[in-house]
Copies of this chain bind each other. A is one copy, B any other.
Amino acid sequence: MPENKYNCKFRGEVCRGHRERRNGYRAVTLWFTGLSGAGKSTLAHAVEKRLFELGANVYVFDGDNVRHGLCGDLSFSAEDRAENIRRIGEMTKLFLDAGTICLCAFITPRSGVREQLRNMHEPDDFFLVHVDCPVEVCESRDVKGYYKLAREGKIKNYTGINAPYDPPESPDLRIDSDAESLLESVNRVLAFLADKIALPEA
């Protein structure tokens, strides 16, 4: 069981260390970055299911549950996309403080924004997972039909088509979602986590 290295930052009598001792593992954020269609949310939800079955407190954040609520006032301009990510980062820091493992699935195309996220966190709290997949494969899947619209010029600033994606130079974990099965990817994420957070029975 991890030592309580966290002091109560606020005046609460229950702090992160208490929660982590009770849980038996550390809370961390895995931030899944990659192109639309690369399989970030699919992987995050599959990891969530496995962790939940192990008894962990875990939650997935993606566009589906954040964009309409907390960030419903934001557009897809570069500035608003950065603010979107900032708010999510600040929110998930409170989830970490509450002892919850955070699985965040967002394109997060710019390396500067990813660095900003990393700098917002303590070093052992944040890990970047690159869900890597060739844009041609993502485009051929085109689950939401957005790649087609972007090619036709009907969507502007679409990452990989008419907006840049900076491939991470040194992600903490790299998943090749085109070559690996989902099960293989989940197993690799779980092995990574087990090493980092003393996961129970993983």
Partner-B contacts on A (CB < 8 A): 9-14, 18-19, 22, 41, 45-46, 48-49, 52, 57-62, 64-66, 69-70, 72-73, 83, 87, 90-91, 93-95, 97-100
17 further contact pairs, Cβ within 8 A, besides A12-B48, A13-B46, A65-B94 = A10-B65, A11-B64, A12-B45, A14-B48, A19-B52, A57-B57, A59-B97, A59-B98, A61-B94, A65-B97, A69-B90, A70-B87, A70-B91, A70-B94, A72-B90, A87-B87, A95-B98
Q: Can you pick out 27 interface pairs between chain A and chain B where the beta carbons lie within 8 Å of each other?
A: A9-B65, A10-B64, A11-B41, A11-B45, A11-B64, A12-B48, A13-B45, A13-B46, A13-B49, A14-B45, A14-B49, A14-B52, A14-B58, A18-B52, A57-B57, A59-B94, A59-B98, A70-B90, A70-B91, A70-B94, A72-B90, A73-B83, A91-B91, A95-B95, A95-B98, A98-B100, A100-B100
Expressed in whole angstroms, the Cα–Cα distance for A153 and B92 within the complex equals 37
A83 cross-chain contacts in B, Cβ below 8 A: 73
Whole-angstrom distance between the Cβ of A75 and the nearest chain B Cβ: 16
Expressed in whole angstroms, the Cα–Cα distance for A162 and B137 within the complex equals 61
Whole-angstrom distance between the Cβ of A32 and the nearest chain B Cβ: 14
A94 cross-chain contacts in B, Cβ below 8 A: 59, 61, 65-66, 69-70, 91
